[in-house]
Structure 1
Amino acid sequence: MKRIVIALLFFFGLTQVNAQVTFKPGLRAGLNLSKITQSDASTRTDFYIAGFGELKLTKYYTLQPEISYSKQGGNDVLVEVYNNQTGNYDAFKQDISVDYISFAIVNKFTFNDKFNMHFGPTIDFQAGQSRFTQSDVDLAFLLGLGFNVTKDLSIEARLKKGVIDIYETDYFSNNSYDVGNYNTNFLFQLGVSYTFDLK
């Protein structure tokens, strides 16, 4: 009898969990503020846009795969480029723009049906060419907060930090104390997300 009761409780709990699982597609868009670490670059302002699938597994936890297009880089970066005519390196300021197609697995935790926290890994593929990058792929981690304005509309803020030395260090001035040799992507995003109710 005890085993039957346990089995019934397990079955009831499983059906309750399954009853909470929902899926909604959505869109994210907003402002990018990007920098290149260990450089004297100023912040570059641009945009991002993304599509995602919101798989709500419990009341508090959502698994959210994302695909996004993100314009990043840095402005006024001190670079050195070899001059074939003079045989010397010319140092100057350069705005660097790099476009990425990003794939993320976001873990989202919701509190009080209003506030949510999200974090997870991303893999980014460079969309186009840049003379100052030394890798077409970047790995990064994101951490963010969100506020649900309605059940479908949210305001979000995220930090994203790359871990790969993405920029060609030969082009960066080693004579400047403001420039290091481990130059990664650092990104702040502020925007909105909207989910579409399929019911």
Structure 2
Amino acid sequence: MKKIILIAFGILVGILNTQAQVTVNPGVKGGLNFSRLTNFEANGPKVDFNLGGYAAIKFNRLYTLQPEVNYSRQGVRSEYVNFFSPTPNYNNSRTKTYSLDYVSLSVINKFNFAGRPFYALVGPSLDFKVADNFSSYNRPVDFDFSIVGGVGYTLPNGLSFEARIKQGFLDIFGNDYFYKDSNNDYHYNDVVLNQVFQLGITYTFKVK
């Protein structure tokens, strides 16, 4: 019985010590987006920006949980030929930029490499569309689900540099290509997904 009590006491002390090490610090972030849409007409990267804020909940020197709220300007730059023109010409193609603006709620898990300033991050993101410039007859849906992954480097003053990849998993037009049609065909190659490469800077404030 004494051994059980001592073991339980040791576990309790360990839990209390772990909780005492938890810190919560607010932060801000921003950076560049290089975005595109899969299976979209002659698409190229759209360069824009993202910005947001977060709370860095640091449990220990190896793991930090980081809820985020971000504003992200995404979309695609599309080059096309106007075939309805009297003289369509591939050498005189036109460029149109399609915009998709999202407010994202993300839960990022950050893993430091043995306490070193390098870290990896991964987590889910719920993206709510707040604006777009698509035509009225082909409007994107209002919601996307994404996974974010990346790496970063933290300086002693709280400044960090990050590279992230954000991959959407829902067709932006709300189509479902994972069920068979009347010809028993799947249409995986028709799904239009958000893809974003992000380069950014974050700053974590030290709260005593």
TM-score normalised by L of structure 1: 0.83
CA distance in 2, matches of 1:134, 1:46: 19
**Residue 118 (structure 2) aligns with:** 115
| Pair 1:135 & 2:135 matched | no
**How far did residue 3 of structure 1 move?**
1.6
**Residue 52 (structure 1) aligns with:** 54
**Residue 195 (structure 2) aligns with:** 186
**Residue 6 (structure 1) aligns with:** 7
TM-score normalised by L of structure 2: 0.80
Q: Is the 8 A contact 1:41 1:78 kept in 2?
A: no
Cα separation, partners in 2 of 1:77 and 1:52, compared to 1, 3 Å:
farther
SS at match of 2:151: strand
CA distance in 1, matches of 2:79, 2:194: 13
Residue identity matched to 1:98 = L
CA distance in 1, matches of 2:21, 2:111: 15
In the alignment, structure 1 segments of 5+ residues that lack a partner are 83-90, 170-179
Identity %: 37
| Pair 1:101 & 2:130 matched | no
Deviations 1:44-73 (A, max 9, x none): 101000100001122211111100000000
The number of aligned residues is 181
**How far did residue 150 of structure 1 move?**
2.0
**Residue 72 (structure 2) aligns with:** 70
Return the structure number with greater strand share: 1
Q: Is the 8 A contact 1:133 1:168 kept in 2?
A: no
**Which one of the candidate residues 156, 161, 176 is aligned to 1:155?**
161
| Pair 1:42 & 2:32 matched | no
**How far did residue 181 of structure 1 move?**
2.0
**Residue 150 (structure 2) aligns with:** 144
CA distance in 1, matches of 2:140, 2:102: 14
In the alignment, structure 2 segments of 5+ residues that lack a partner are 85-92, 176-188
Q: Is the 8 A contact 2:98 2:132 kept in 1?
A: no
